[in-house]
Amino acid sequence: MQNPENKLKTALRAGQSQYGLWLAGASPVVAELAGGVGFDWCLIDGEHGPNTVAQMLPQLQALAAAGTAAVVRVAAPEVWMVKQALDLGVQTVLVPMVDDAAKAAEMARAMRYPPDGIRGMGAVLARASRYGAIADYPHTANAQVCLMVQAESAVAVENIDSIATTPGVDGIFVGPADLSADMGYPGQPDHPEVEAAIDHMIARTLAAGKIAGIITFDRARFADYSRKGVTFLGLGGDMVVLRSALEDLLQSARP
């Protein structure tokens, strides 16, 4: 058995737009549904969603059955959290709260086996190697992993060039909510100063030859971000979509 190609990484490196959905509900049924709809990727949120490692597994299995690329956002920029996500068989990992090149470099090393990194050699026991069926997994995994680091603070804006040019970082994902709060405009990701910071980070990421990503819950912004060069684009989240649909359903029945 061969280690599968990270088709999401391949598509993004080729400049192809890839549209995804945030999964925060810890539901394999919703993951299966979203995968069947045809999203290019779905992200299982371990930072703000109630997703433990054990709860991520059935969602990953549901996405695999649907043929949808799986991404996991770990809870914090910690080496052991990255290792757990990778051992689950996740090839693309989003790491939040990366403020400088030193942290970005640490996360890049966490993604890779020695001599290129510090990832622990335990995949023979894990889903990543199909429980040992992919015999050469430790030798082929490094080429298939994709690291997206989340820049979401004023410090990250200042350090964007050094973060984006860090070896082993495949892309920068802008976090509009935390960025706006850190800049003094909580709940205002559309504030002109925040938007200017977002545009700056996207531009500097692209200038470094890296993948630019962001999430927005505003459908009017989809085309705008695509024009600016964002190819890893989150189109909202499962809980928001579900709530909106349920509210619409209820309101359509009330006089």
Which tokens go with 212?
A: 């630019």
Mean pLDDT value across residues 213-232: 97
Backbone angles phi, psi at 72, to 5 degrees: -120, 130
| Residue 209 buriedness (CB in 10 A; 0-12 / 13-18 / 19+) | exposed
Predicted model pTM:
0.96
Give the pLDDT confidence score for residue 244 in this predicted structure: 96
At residue 104, does pLDDT exceed 90?
yes
CA distance 104 to 55: 27
Residues 129-172 pLDDT 10s: 999 999 999 999 999 999 999 999 999 999 999 999 999 999 99
3-state DSSP helix/strand/coil percent for the chain, to nearest 5? 50, 15, 35
Domain ranges of the chain: 7-253
- Evaluate if residue 120 carries a pLDDT over 90: yes
What is the model's pLDDT at position 9? 98
* Cα distances (Å, whole numbers) of residue 11 to 108, 203, 231: 20, 20, 9
The number of beta carbons lying within 10 Å of the beta carbon of residue 14 is 8
pLDDT above 90 for 123? no
**Cβ distance 63 to 35 under 8 Å?**
yes
Tell me the pLDDT tens digit for each residue of 174-188: 999 999 999 999 999
Model confidence band, residue 109 (pLDDT cutoffs 50, 70, 90) = very high
Query: pLDDT by residue (tens digit) across 70-95?
Result: 999 999 999 999 999 999 999 999 99
pLDDT for 193-219, tens place per residue?
A: 999 999 999 999 999 999 999 999 999
Q: Which CATH superfamily is domain 7-253 in?
A: Phosphoenolpyruvate-binding domains (3.20.20.60)
pLDDT value, residue 255: 86
> Is residue 154 within a helix (H) or strand (E), and if so which, with residue range?
helix 154-158
Catalytic sites, residue numbers: 48
Amino acid found at 62: A
Q: What is the pLDDT of residue 130?
A: 96
Q: Residue 112's pLDDT band (boundaries 50, 70, 90)?
A: very high
Q: Residue range 112-139: average pLDDT?
A: 95
Q: How confident is the model at residue 248, as a pLDDT?
A: 96
What's the mean pLDDT when you consider all of the chain?
97
CA torsion sign for 124, 127, 132, 134 is: negative
| Percentage of the chain lying above the pLDDT 90 cut | 98
